[in-house]
Structure formats: structure tokens, C-alpha cells
Chains A and B, each alone.
Chain A
């Protein structure tokens, strides 16, 4: 049988998917054990026990300075920033994408501006944001928004502009005006694409969040990672990175499921 035709059953697929991850973990353990055999005080590749000890302090014990449990405070602060940033970006993508995609006059007027903003590297604007909004929450959220909103707007606008012309014509022959075409034809068909755009933007959103936190913050997952870097605390950095990955994967999964449940018509005949 040709390799392009080989398919795995569900059980086998999960097993095969877990295999590279397990191998990577094993490799890490071997390397870490090797380094500790030479130098028991090694900090670069900590053993699982050290990570558990270091994390237990952050998860369970209250920080004498802030009075909170740092791990949860960091998680809460980061997720709040991410959520607000994603919410603003998604709302503006839907709104702007919709009118840009469906109204040729608006596209002609604002299309070049959106494209122009989208090609500016967001990190280059970070100093501007800090100057304009101070070092508080606003600047961090603004960085996420500036980082992902233009991409999402362009994606939604392009998707709507690519809707078959026949549909728009048909809607008009059924008596729809511009507004009705927008909310009954374009909007519902933009929704699954919007969720898709959010999924794709999650990665960049995390990058901008961590960057903003690394530069100016007093709490947050990115802040903690960059703080403990000074003490070579890989036993905290690695679990934090794993935690971020877990959060990101969970969000992605939830979005996929939400899309399948809410917009079954957009997910092919097999629903």
C-alpha cells in the first residue's frame, strides 16, 4: 500500500501522536540525569523533582511581598490581558472586516490604511505605546490588539470579499438591501472564519503578551519567566513554558469545538 493511502485508526493515531512527545521527554531526562551525574548543583537542565519543589512554592505558598500565590496571580493577570486583547481584536475584526469586505466604497477608502498598519512590526510600536499609555495594563493590551487585529481584519475582509458573487446577487433578487446582505449573508458566513482567525492569532497574541510583560510589568507569566532568568531558574522557566503551551492548546481546542458546534454547516458533510 502506498504511504499516501495509509491511515491510522483513532487509537493508533493517539499513540503515534504521543510517541514523539514521550521520546523528547525521555531525551530531556537522560540529558538532565547526565548533567547531574557530573555536577549535582546543575541549574541548566533541572530534574523533575527540582521543578516540582520550585513550582510548589509558587503554586501553594503565599508570597510575603504581594500576599498572593504567585503562579495563580501570574496566570490570572496574563489571561486577563490576553482575553481583553483578543476580545477587542475579534470585535474590531468582525466589524471592520465586514464593512471592508462587503462595501466596495469602504474597501477603496480604508483598505490601503489597514494594509499599511498591518505591515508595521508591532514590537516597533511598543515604545510608542508605552509613551502614550504609560506602563500599565493599557499598553500591554494595546500591543496585542495592534499585533493581531490588522491581520484578522484583512483575513475576514478577504473572506467576505471572496463569497460567491452569485450569493450577493441572489440575496438582492430576494429583496435584500445592503444592510440585510451584510447581517444575513455576510455576517453568518464570516463567523466560522472569525473563529479560525482567532485560533491562528493565538500564537502571535501570546508572543506580544510575553514581550510586553517582559519589558514592563510586575505580574504575569512572561514577567515571571524573564524575572527568574536572572537566577538561571530553569526549574521555574520550563514549567511556566509548559503551562503556557497547555493554556494555548486548550484555547485552540475549545475554539475548534465551539466552531463545530455553532456552525456545523461550515465543517463539511461529515457533521
Chain B
């Protein structure tokens, strides 16, 4: 198993508060990693570090064996819970943005044949996320689910090596959320994506993921709770088709019922 993304001894500290301590991970190509954990356990910090929004205090991150600069780039796409799309652009404009930035460094806009080509590509992408009929709408005219679909399309048009999702479906109602799960699973297969998703929803983490990471503090000092950081306390590989083995390894925090565990291995995993 070749690691696409490697985290080596990552520490994230804010002042004397330690958020993440000594996180080392290898994330394989084509995997779908769910990150769960209690609030304040550094899930989002870890995502920000991988995204390049923040530099780790110590440690290094390698993408394809090369050290990543502490800055965001087109090799890592992202969908946040909110504010992921540009309010001043239509759906089509939002998706074309990534193409325009790459092809028109100064004007950041395309004209003529280039614009037509980008438009076609963007329409195809919008079709893939089911927004073909809504491509001239502005985000303010869209529902929360549509906005997240748009945010995914916008990120995927750049064909990122890794797609990072920060509680992408947290603000959606259960029905829409189920649709979005089907969508992201389909896109993950079709576009051969590597996905890292932070979520609060355990069921979501286990249904979607091929691997579930739980971040939490290993040690706790009651007098100085901020001096110990969180790290990956559980690392469950879900690609094995043995429910019993999974059952054994699933922790009681996760509190999964047997049928839930079963459903993990049935669907959406067509890669093995």
C-alpha cells in the first residue's frame, strides 16, 4: 500500500495550548478516511494542517513523498460546512472559477473559445452533481443541500489529489444528507478520489469511510487540561469483509449496533 499522504509527527500548538500531539498517519490513495472525535479534539485543526491553511508547529506532511508548503494549493480541494461557494457568482461561475484561475493568470477570466470549453466542462461537472437545471442560480437562491453540491462540483473541477470535507453535511436535514451520501460515494468511485472527511456523525463516518480515525487525548491532566494534545487513538480499517473483526475493534464510544457494523461492509465499497 503506497501512501499518498503522510503525516510525520505532527504537533499543533497555539501558545501553550497543545491541540494535536505527535500525529503520524499514512493515507492510501483512493481511501475514504472519516475523522471523528469529541469537540475540541483537533479534528478541524488536523484538516487545516493537511489543507495548508495552518502550518504544524512541528512535524512534516508529505504528498507523494514531497513536503507540502504551508499554503493552500489546487492539489487539495476542500468543502466546508458553510461559506464554501462565492455568493457573487452563479453556479456556473462558481464552477468555472477554478478553470479561469488556471488558464488566465492576469485577467482571471476567459473569453471566446477558452470560455466555451471551460463552460462545457463546468456544465458537465454540474450535471454530475445534479445541478444542471440550477446552473444560472446564485447561491442565495439555493437550498443548503444544493450549495454543498455546488461546493463539491467546484472543488472537483480541479481534479484535486485529495478532497477534504469539513463537516460537509452537518447543516443538512437527514433526507438531504442521505442523498448527499449517495452522491459523494458515487463521485468517490467515478473520479477515483481520496477523501478525508471530518464529521460529528458516527453513522456517517462508518457508512462512508473505508477507514475511521478517532482523535482524542490519550492522557488528561486535570490541573492543566490544555497541556496534553489529541492524537489518533483508534484507527479502524473498514475494508475487511469480516464484521466480527470489526465488532471487536470498534470501541464502545462508537457504540455501534451489530447491524450498523454490517451495513458498513456491504455497500459503497466496490473497490475490493
**Which residues of chain A have a CB within 8 Å of any CB of chain B?**
164, 166-167, 169-177, 179-180, 183-185, 188-189, 263-266, 268-269
Q: Which of A172, A174, A183 is packed against the most chain B CB atoms within 10 Å?
A: A174
Chain B residues with Cβ under 8 A from A184's Cβ? 97, 100-101, 108-109
Chain B residues with Cβ under 8 A from A177's Cβ? 101, 105
Nearest CB of chain B from residue A267's CB, rounded to whole Å: 9
B83 on the A face (CB < 8 A): yes
Nearest CB of chain A from residue B249's CB, rounded to whole Å: 34
Known: A167-B83, A167-B86. A173 touches B158 (CB 8 A): yes
Chain B residues with Cβ under 8 A from A175's Cβ? 73-74, 98, 101-102, 158
Q: Which of the residues A164, A166, A183, A263 comes within 8 Å of B88, measured between beta carbons? A: A263
4 shortest interchain CB distances as A-B pairs: A164-B83, A174-B98, A172-B72, A175-B74
A185 and B86 contacting across the interface, CB-CB below 8 Å: yes
Report the bound CA distance from A263 to B108 in whole Å: 20
B108 and A180 contacting across the interface, CB-CB below 8 Å: yes
A selection of 17 A-B contacts at a CB cut-off of 8 Å is A166-B82, A169-B80, A170-B80, A170-B151, A172-B71, A173-B73, A173-B78, A174-B98, A174-B101, A174-B154, A174-B158, A175-B98, A175-B102, A179-B106, A188-B88, A265-B87, A265-B140
B67 on the A face (CB < 8 A): no
**Which residues of chain B have a CB within 8 Å of any CB of chain A?**
51, 53, 71-74, 76-78, 80, 82-89, 97-98, 100-102, 105-106, 108-109, 138-141, 151, 154-155, 158, 160
B74 and A173 contacting across the interface, CB-CB below 8 Å: yes
Q: Which of the residues A183, A189, A269 comes within 8 Å of B108, measured between beta carbons? A: A183
A180 and B101 contacting across the interface, CB-CB below 8 Å: yes
Dominant secondary structure at the B interface: loop
Report the bound CA distance from A170 to B155 in whole Å: 8
Nearest CB of chain B from residue A159's CB, rounded to whole Å: 13
Chain A residues with Cβ under 8 A from B72's Cβ? 169, 172-173
Nearest CB of chain A from residue B56's CB, rounded to whole Å: 17
Cross-chain pair count, CB within 8 angstroms? 87
Nearest CB of chain B from residue A271's CB, rounded to whole Å: 9
B80 and A174 contacting across the interface, CB-CB below 8 Å: no
B78 and A170 contacting across the interface, CB-CB below 8 Å: yes
Q: Which of the residues A173, A183, A188, A263 comes within 8 Å of B77, measured between beta carbons? A: A173
Nearest CB of chain A from residue B115's CB, rounded to whole Å: 14
What 17 additional pairs, Cβ within 8 angstroms, besides A167-B83, A172-B71? Answer: A166-B83, A169-B53, A170-B85, A171-B97, A173-B158, A175-B102, A175-B158, A176-B97, A188-B89, A189-B86, A189-B87, A264-B138, A265-B139, A265-B140, A266-B87, A269-B140, A269-B141
B88 and A169 contacting across the interface, CB-CB below 8 Å: no
Report the bound CA distance from A167 to B72 in whole Å: 12
B51 and A174 contacting across the interface, CB-CB below 8 Å: no
Report the bound CA distance from A169 to B78 in whole Å: 9
A173 and B76 contacting across the interface, CB-CB below 8 Å: yes
Known: A173-B78, A173-B158, A175-B158. A266 touches B71 (CB 8 A): no
Report the bound CA distance from A193 to B116 in whole Å: 31
Chain A residues with Cβ under 8 A from B101's Cβ? 171, 174-177, 180, 184
Chain A residues with Cβ under 8 A from B141's Cβ? 269
Can you name the residue of chain B whose Cβ is closest to the Cβ of A168?
B72
Chain A residues with Cβ under 8 A from B139's Cβ? 265
Chain A residues with Cβ under 8 A from B97's Cβ? 171, 174, 176, 184
B105 and A172 contacting across the interface, CB-CB below 8 Å: no
Chain B residues with Cβ under 8 A from A189's Cβ? 86-88
Can you name the residue of chain A whose Cβ is closest to the Cβ of B104?
A180
Chain B residues with Cβ under 8 A from A263's Cβ? 88
Nearest CB of chain B from residue A258's CB, rounded to whole Å: 16
Nearest CB of chain B from residue A103's CB, rounded to whole Å: 15
Known: A166-B84, A180-B105, A188-B88. A174 touches B155 (CB 8 A): yes
